[in-house]
Amino acid sequence: MTDAPFTGFTPQGLQFLRDLARHNDRDWFTANRAVFDDELKPQLAALIRATSDELARTGSALRGAEKISPFRIHRDTRFSKDKRPYKTHVSATLTRPGADGTLAADARPLLESGWRAMDGA
């Protein structure tokens, strides 16, 4: 991933999430994966960097890391009646270092086409 600044999620990336909600299957995702890889993943990484930089500037201990903060788009369907394989949103965790240097989850920003949220903090 590059260190490009966060400029917002592209219309193509948001359309991908809307389309994924309607075509939530492996064949569709595989055929359209380039949009996910090119339009959503880099912007999510840029958002994590920008948010971490701003939190550091304000003195918050919360941080994100573009390699470990993003959640996978694949759903865990093992114990769910809902077997759709993909989440229809992108999300990441912001963490604070623990006493032993490990990271503990604290906040989870979420972007889904049509709404956004931030849990925790």
Predicted confidence (pLDDT) at residue 1 exceeds the cutoff of 60: no
pLDDT band at 62 (very low <50, low <70, confident <90, very high): confident
Average pLDDT, stretch 8-33? 96
Q: Report helix angle 26-35 to 11-22, nearest 10.
A: 180
Average pLDDT, the chain: 84
The tokens for 13 are 């990336």
Domain extent listing, the chain: 11-120
pLDDT band at 65 (very low <50, low <70, confident <90, very high): confident
The tokens for 117 are 């949220």
Report how far residue 36's alpha carbon sits from residue 117's, in angstroms, rounded to the nearest whole number. Answer: 20
Residue with token string 């009646």: 81
| Residue 59 to residues 5, 21, 47, 87, 107, Cα–Cα distance (Å) | 21, 38, 18, 32, 16
Predicted confidence (pLDDT) at residue 99 exceeds the cutoff of 70: no
pLDDT band at 110 (very low <50, low <70, confident <90, very high): low
Predicted confidence (pLDDT) at residue 37 exceeds the cutoff of 60: yes
For 79-98, what is each residue's pLDDT tens digit? Answer: 999 999 999 999 888 887 66
Residues 52/63, Cβ–Cβ less than 8 Å:
yes
What is the pLDDT at residue 95?
81
Would you say how long the chain is, in residues? 121
